[in-house]
Amino acid sequence: LCFTDGIGMISPSFARQLIEKVRPSDAACHPCAFQIRCGGFKGMLCVDVTGQADALGVKVLFRPSMNKFAANNH
């Protein structure tokens, strides 16, 4: 079984970029998960250790279950 409801993926490189922007002193040690709200999406993003996000050329993969409401801004 694979329980993924509400959990998307973030590429390791984008996770590092976020931490460098928010906490430059902690850039070498970043979290493996982020709680997010982006437009109508909310939930968790886990750092993608499989390489799928990078292989697809995307920074963040949202799952359909993360979409809570329609929003004009992201």
Q: What is the pLDDT of residues 2-57, one digit of tens each?
A: 666 778 999 998 988 888 888 777 656 778 899 999 899 999 999 998 888 888 89
pTM: 0.78
Show the tokens assigned to 55: 């292989």
Helix spans in the chain (H): 12-22, 52-56
- Write down the residue that tokens 């993003």 correspond to: 45
CA 51/CA 67 separation, integer angstroms: 23
